[in-house]
Structure 1
Amino acid sequence: MLRTLKLQRIAQRLVGVAVLALLAAPPAAATDDGPLAALRDYKRQAEWSDRFDASLPELRAVNSSHPTLSPEALGRMQIAIGNHGRIAAAGGWPIVSSPRVALQLGARDPNVPVLRQRLAVSGDLTQVSGSSDVYDSYVAAAVRRFQLRHGLSANGILDAPTLIAMNVPVHVRLRQLETNLVRISERAVGLGERYVLVNIPAAEIEAVESGRVRSRHTAVVGKVDRPSPILTSQVHEINFNPYWTVPVSIVRRDLIPKMQDNPSYLADQKIRIYRWGDESREYDVREIDWNTDEATQYMFRQDPGELNSLGTVKINFHNAHQVYLHDTPQKSLFGEGARFHSSGCVRVQNVRELITWLVAPNGWDRGQVDAVIRSGQRRDVPLEVKTPILFAYITAWVNADGVVHFRDDIYNQDRVTTAAYDAGIGRLR
């Protein structure tokens, strides 16, 4: 009962933090769905590598050329679990109260001394300059480091998403580390010299070779109601300037409603209609009753080009979920915080770099990749060397420099896993 009351108080305080921060936010943050929807919109998880100067010392400390999955990562996770366990045993880290407005460099606020303590406990603030209530450069740098570790917009400002993440109790973070220790131990074996890792909660892709990350890519992954699946496969083919065949699920959920609202939608998007298995005749939109599910009986195919939903390239690997990696014409999505917009497939930023790495064993170089894309011609390239690809769900990990990362449990899998351990299916310690 005491633990329940304590958690309720924490939850109430977090809601208060969110509401106060929302009041300080621009009016445009609000939506017709009320404060909770506004909070969801306000909360962001930006990808630091795409948006910030690589010379920042905080960024260099958080970044790593070592992969998320490796046998060595398990030892680092054990150390982090021990450290968080000691913090929990000592009473946890302090709760930072909500300031009246978001705090940034130069501000003076009575909550800053507690903020310093909180950042020092988690190792983000290494130089503690007394108990000053000034939000100085040391505090701003420590906040930025904290944000980078949690996938937040690394602006160095104590805003609502940062404060919410900062006030997650240490025992929750400890359980998150324990849960992901098991995931990493299951995934970190038999990886081979070369593979692609898609970490869904981080919305990030690693191209790994000989134990080093050759390139990292910001990704856009599946929505909560259309999640990207956990899978293991091999990349076997690259489609340049591809057609996009609209999955039946998207026809039902998206295309039919769009056609009901705008009968010219298919023409605007250069999507053609055929019967499945028969492309000898193209059908007119007026031949389909859009007020029923009749459209699901047809094949909808989008022409290659700048409007194509797959962009300029598609990366194929066999799987039961009909998902793949691809480019996108919506490049602005990569700059967003919460990058969970797709219907299960994964959009890749700087996709040409990844493609070049995948086709290099075939004797291709970047110039050839650019040339075939620039031509606009359809071309399918089977890969002689098939690269393994893994979709994993990792919400906590430790990089080679001992920096601990956490991400939101976007699909609510940590809670499910934790419940399984509590039920006796497995114990972490």
Structure 2
Amino acid sequence: MGTVLAVLVGLPGTVLGDTPSAGDRASVPVAAQIERLVEDAGSELQAFYALRDHRPAWHDRETVAAFAAALHTLDGDGLRPADYRPDALVAGHRQADASEQPGEQARFDLHATRMLMTALEHLQRGKVDPSGLETHWEVPVEAPALDPAAISRAIDGQRFEQAFAEARPSYAPYERLRTGLARYRNIERLGGWEPFPQEPRVLRPGDVDDAVVLLRSRLAVIGELEVMAANVDAFPEARLETPDLRRYDTTLEAAVKRFQRRHLLEVDGIVGPQTRRALNVPVEARIDQIRVNLERSRWLLHGLPETFVLVDIAGYQLRYFRPNGEVWRSRIVVGRPYRRTPSLRSEITHMTVNPSWTIPPTIRRNDVLPEVRRDLGYLWRERIQVLSPSGQPLDPWEVDWDNPGNVVLRQAPGPHNALGKVAIRFPNDHMVYLHDTPSQGLFSRQQRAFSSGCIRVEGVLEFAQLLFDDTDSGRNIHGLIEAGRTRNVSLGEPVPVILHYWTVNPDEDGELAFRPDIYERDEALLRALDRPLAL
């Protein structure tokens, strides 16, 4: 994105270093107070006022009014304009101006500048600190890159909305979320949508039912306009034929399937309990869902390289943004709600071909040991070796399985190994990675939270070969597998990887896709986002 507000360098207004005007000379007492007060302020405020020779930035009521008006537009980013006290700013300026006390005017000036910087920081990196919400958060949220000189010119030119536009993430998904938020707020203003009947009736293609009329209306509200018939009375001479709105026809079936696909439901065109529940989520809840995902986007969508791997946990999708501009996509399986795949940012450094699997402590304790205690033959069927902490083989019959201590359980390579034929590695504290799987049938499910935290990737061998090719590694994944031995193979250069969690994201058509909140993170984030700002 570059230095924030850099494009504002050509704005009209005060040129720093010019000879002070008559108005500036009149504000010399205020400048002296600002110089005194700013000593106890943060470094960004100090840099801002040093560039202005401590001259006030907010002495003009039109400038304050323009800033207050711009703050109200932050509603379009899912932020709360009330947090930034736009009305109090106008009243505060009026009070400070009327007092003619340099100290009060200086305090107001610092407060208004701090408020502008706060709004810019929130647009750039988010209002909420994610490390306070999510356990083991590992995605660094970089400090915002505010340019004090550009901010000063933005104030003098009263170009606040342009400054906000430069501070926002510049990536298309963020703008599509903003567009979606405006669209759903408009639906809310028009009255939202009528709840779908709650009785346990299932609608199938071919049915004729009064509820089909409501289904058509519900889908039309979110843009599926073709499901509504033309008004034949408006064109009496055109001899239009209107279909029976009570009949569940093929056009409506196609619209229902699109709705199901965007909500990660079974795409069967049947309006059963799950589809009914998704249809009945109030528009206000969808608005909140978009808002929290705008905040998540502000955490992540900055400083992204051209080439990287993005794992969308709640969307069960991996995307590899290749150096040639192509995007390789795949379905994935992620961690169960009680064994969550973490959010993190790292770099893919190497792969393990024909991997063995050292069973992690949690899976060992909760899954494997109960099976072994019931039937020791489980170890032989699953080709699991029992090792000492130093790696020496142990006789399973001599281990006290009620109190096995620190024995290591390792599954041998082979077709039934939980990691399949390849594991793609990146340093992290959670021992998670991308890998193959013998359980290919799970990829056909719409919701795929079945793993113990690691990410299973459909078509992982193709993905591995692309990583080799794009990093000039000179390796052939199929040849390495056929060689039969377990080995670690480094990439020619690391490839950045990001694991993140979105419950709303634009699909390939730009339409918003709403996903189930499988890890129940939305509510806590919404509460934090709506918590009044402490200033």
TM-score interval, smaller chain: 0.7 to 0.9
Q: Which of 268, 289, 294 in structure 1 is aligned with 2:400?
A: 289
Which residue of 1 is the match for residue 172 of structure 2? Answer: 72
Which residue of 2 is the match for residue 170 of structure 1? Answer: 283
> Could you report, residue by residue, the CA deviation over 1:221-264 in whole angstroms, capped at 9, with x for unpaired residues?
11111100010000000111011111112111111101112211
Q: Which of 81, 95, 102 in structure 1 is aligned with 2:202?
A: 102
Correspondence list, 1:376-395, <5 A: 376-395=484-503
Which residue of 1 is the match for residue 310 of structure 2? Answer: 197
1:347 matches 2:456: yes
Following superposition, the deviation at residue 152 of structure 1 comes to 1.4
Residues 247 and 418 (structure 1), Cα distance of their counterparts in 2 relative to 1, 3 Å cut = same
**Bigger Cα displacement from structure 2, 311-320 vs 397-406:** 397-406
The answer to whether the 8 A contact 1:240-1:380 is kept is yes
Q: Secondary structure at the residue paired with 1:282?
A: coil
Correspondence list, 1:248-397, <5 A: 248-276=361-389, 278-279=390-391, 281-292=392-403, 294-295=404-405, 297-363=406-472, 368-397=476-505
TM normalised by structure 1 equals 0.78
Amino acid at match of 1:405: A
Distance 2:472 2:497 in 1: 20
Following superposition, the deviation at residue 377 of structure 1 comes to 2.1
Amino acid at match of 1:317: F
1:150 matches 2:274: no
Distance 1:309 1:329 in 2: 7
The answer to whether the 8 A contact 1:77-1:397 is kept is yes
TM normalised by structure 2 equals 0.63
User: Greater relative contact order: 1 or 2 (C-alpha under 8 angstroms, separation 6 or more)?
Assistant: 1
Unaligned runs of 5+ in 2: 1-168, 231-243
Residues 270 and 188 (structure 1), Cα distance of their counterparts in 2 relative to 1, 3 Å cut = same
Distance 2:275 2:348 in 1: 37
Distance 2:276 2:474 in 1: 46
The answer to whether the 8 A contact 2:341-2:453 is kept is yes
Distance 1:263 1:100 in 2: 47
Distance 1:365 1:159 in 2: 51
The answer to whether the 8 A contact 2:323-2:470 is kept is no
Q: Secondary structure at the residue paired with 2:400?
A: coil
The answer to whether the 8 A contact 2:309-2:319 is kept is yes
> Could you report, residue by residue, the CA deviation over 1:198-231 in whole angstroms, capped at 9, with x for unpaired residues?
1111111111135955211111111111100010
> Could you report, residue by residue, the CA deviation over 1:10-58 in whole angstroms, capped at 9, with x for unpaired residues?
xxxxxxxxxxxxxxxxxxxxxxxxxxxxxxxxxxxxxxxxxxxxxxxxx
Distance 1:306 1:380 in 2: 18
Amino acid at match of 2:398: E
Distance 2:292 2:512 in 1: 14
Distance 1:352 1:137 in 2: 38
Q: Secondary structure at the residue paired with 1:182?
A: helix
**Bigger Cα displacement from structure 2, 353-362 vs 385-394:** 353-362
1:242 matches 2:355: yes
Distance 1:210 1:418 in 2: 36
The answer to whether the 8 A contact 2:322-2:470 is kept is no
Distance 1:148 1:82 in 2: 22
Unaligned runs of 5+ in 1: 1-68
Q: Which has the higher strand share?
A: 1
The answer to whether the 8 A contact 1:125-1:142 is kept is no
Residues 213 and 117 (structure 1), Cα distance of their counterparts in 2 relative to 1, 3 Å cut = farther
Amino acid at match of 1:330: S
Distance 2:229 2:170 in 1: 37
Which residue of 2 is the match for residue 138 of structure 1? Answer: 251
The answer to whether the 8 A contact 1:356-1:364 is kept is no
The answer to whether the 8 A contact 1:220-1:346 is kept is yes
Amino acid at match of 2:502: I
Following superposition, the deviation at residue 333 of structure 1 comes to 1.4
Distance 1:378 1:137 in 2: 52
**Number of matched pairs:** 353
Amino acid at match of 2:295: V
Amino acid at match of 1:139: L
Q: Secondary structure at the residue paired with 2:441?
A: helix
Distance 1:192 1:248 in 2: 34
Distance 1:182 1:123 in 2: 25
**Bigger Cα displacement from structure 2, 118-127 vs 206-215:** 206-215
Distance 1:213 1:201 in 2: 23
The answer to whether the 8 A contact 1:234-1:317 is kept is yes
**Bigger Cα displacement from structure 2, 101-110 vs 250-259:** 101-110
Residues 211 and 85 (structure 1), Cα distance of their counterparts in 2 relative to 1, 3 Å cut = farther
Following superposition, the deviation at residue 422 of structure 1 comes to 2.1
1:218 matches 2:326: no
Amino acid at match of 2:524: V
Distance 1:126 1:111 in 2: 18
Following superposition, the deviation at residue 101 of structure 1 comes to 3.8
Q: Which has the larger radius of gyration?
A: 2
Distance 1:185 1:126 in 2: 35
Which residue of 2 is the match for residue 405 of structure 1? Answer: 513
- What's the RMSD between the two structures over aligned residues? 2.0
Amino acid at match of 1:234: E
Distance 1:383 1:425 in 2: 46
Following superposition, the deviation at residue 146 of structure 1 comes to 0.6
Which residue of 2 is the match for residue 82 of structure 1? Answer: 182
Which residue of 2 is the match for residue 58 of structure 1? Answer: none
Residues 181 and 212 (structure 1), Cα distance of their counterparts in 2 relative to 1, 3 Å cut = farther
Distance 2:358 2:246 in 1: 58
